[in-house]
Amino acid sequence: MEYVVKNIPIRYEAIGPRQWGKPLCLLDNATDLTANTKWASTGFSIEPLFDESTYSIFRNNTFQLLSELWRKASLTIPSDFNLEQYHTAASTKELHLKGIEFTKLVDVKHFPISIDILEKRISAICQENLVVKNPFDGRSVFHFRVIRPQQNDNNPLHRDVWLEDYDNCINLYIPVAGSNEKSSLVIIPGSHRWLESCIERTTGRAEIGGIKFNVPAITAINTPAEYLRPNPRANEVLVFSPYLIHGGAINLNNDSTRISIEVRLWKR
C-alpha cells in the first residue's frame, strides 16, 4: 500500500491473505455519532477541548501519569523529563514494548481529569449524550498512543469497526507531545461513507515488517482518496468516526516521539 501525505510518499507491505469488501456501507446499519454535526460529510473535526484552567490541570496530570506508568515499566524517567524524548528512555525494542504495555487499556479512574468533564464536552460537540463505556464489554478505558520517530510503531490504514467491539462510537485523538504536521494521525475525509467494495484489506490481523497489529491493513483502494494529517494543537481534540479510514501515521520527525490519548465514547 502506497499513498502520499503532504507530498511525502508513505508505503507499507502487509503479508498474508487479502480480499475486496462487499458493496455495502457499514455506517448504513450503525449509529452515526457525526449525524447531528456540521462535519457529518467529512467524518471528522478539530474542536477546542477545555477551558485554560482545566487544560493546565489536564496537562500536568498527564505528565505525572505517564511518568508513573513508565517507571512501573522500569524506564528511567527523571522529574524534569521531556515527554517528546521518550525514545531516548525506551532505547531498545524490549524497553519500548514494556513501556507501551503499561499505557494501554488504562481505566478512566486514572484519566488526567474527571472523565465527566470530557464526556460533557464531547457530548456537546456531537449533540448526543455520550459516555466512555463500551457496551460490548462494559469497560471504561483510554489509551496512550506512543509513536517513536522514524519507527514502525503506528497501525496501518484501517477502519476501527473491523474489530467487533468498536462500532457505534466516536473516536478522540488528543495530542499530548510531539504531535505536528509530520506525526499526527492520517485520515481519509468522507471515507466513513465508502462502500466496502472500494477497499482491499488483509483478512485478519495485519503483519508488516515482522510486526503483528491488532487491526487488518488496507492493501489497496479503488476510488479517489485524499490523505490528510489534521493537526490539532494543544488543548484541541480531533473527533472522528470509527468508520473513517485512518492510521498509517508514521512519525516523520527525526528526534521527537508523538504521544496522544485515544478515547472512545458511546451513547449513554
Among candidates 104, 103, 112, 107, which has minimal Cα distance to 50?
112
Q: Which residue's entry shows cell 449509529?
A: 31
User: Sheet of 18-20: strands edge to edge?
Assistant: 18-20, 199-202, 218-221
Mean residue pLDDT across the chain: 95
pLDDT of residue 56: 98
In order of their start, the domains of the chain are 2-267 (2.60.120.620)
The pLDDT tens digits for 133-177 are 999 999 999 999 999 999 988 889 999 999 988 999 999 999 999
With 0-12 / 13-18 / 19 or more C-beta atoms within 10 angstroms meaning exposed / middle / buried, residue 53 is exposed
- Find out whether 169 and 22 touch, Cβ atoms under 8 Å: no
Separation between Cα atoms, residue 177 and residue 179, nearest integer Å: 6
DSSP 228: B
- Answer whether 0.75 is exceeded by the pTM: yes
The pLDDT tens digits for 56-94 are 999 999 999 999 999 999 999 999 999 999 999 999 989
Confidence tier at 52 by pLDDT (50, 70, 90): very high
DSSP 197: G
Radius of gyration of the chain (CA): 18
